[in-house]
């Protein structure tokens, strides 16, 4: 069963990371938790553009890294074709 659904699950895991990072903005700013989301929120309120742009690029990099590593893992775990 696991080899069948494995690739999809890994791909889903890669996508979920970007969703989680996006959700961190409202969650962290409303609950008062320090983190990237709260930092981005405060930067937006004080119009700190360099910080915001860099945070956006950082999150993009993490997303790309997650997606690429998911792709690599799928490739490694793929059953060898005879």
Partner 1 sequence: MKAARLLACVIVVAVCALSLGARWLAPAGYAHQFREAADAPPSHQHLLGTDEVGRDRFARVLYGTRISLLLAPAAALVSTALAALVGGLAGYLGGIWLKLARAFTDLFLSLPWLFLLITVRALLPLNVSPLTSVLITFLILGLLGWAQSARVLSTSADALRNSDFVLQARASGLHGPRLFLIHVLPNLKPVLYAQFWISIPVFILSEANLGVLGLGVAEPLPSWGSLLRELEGLISFREEPWRLVPLLLLIVVMTSFQILLSNEEVTA
Interacting residue ranges for partner 1, rule: CB under 8 A: 18, 21-23, 25-26, 29-30, 40-41, 43-45, 47-49, 52-53, 55-56, 59-60, 63-64
Whole-number Å distance between alpha carbons of 13 and 80? 23
Place of tokens 């945070």: 55
* CB closer to partner 1, 9 vs 53: 53
In the complex, what is the shortest distance from the CB of residue 81 to partner 1, in angstroms, rounded to a whole number?
Answer: 28
Whole-number Å distance between alpha carbons of 44 and 58? 16
* CB closer to partner 1, 12 vs 49: 49
Contacts 24+ apart (CB under 8 A), 39-48: none
In the complex, what is the shortest distance from the CB of residue 2 to partner 1, in angstroms, rounded to a whole number?
Answer: 29
């Amino acid at each position: 069963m696991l080899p069948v659904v494995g690739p999809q699950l890994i791909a889903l895991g890669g996508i979920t990371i970007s969703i989680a990072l996006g959700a961190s903005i409202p969650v962290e700013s409303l609950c008062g938790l320090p983190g990237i989301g709260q930092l981005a929120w405060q930067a937006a309120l004080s119009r700190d553009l360099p910080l915001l742009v860099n945070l956006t690029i950082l999150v993009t990099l993490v997303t790309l890294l997650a997606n690429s590593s998911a792709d690599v893992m799928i490739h490694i775990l793929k059953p060898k074709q005879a």
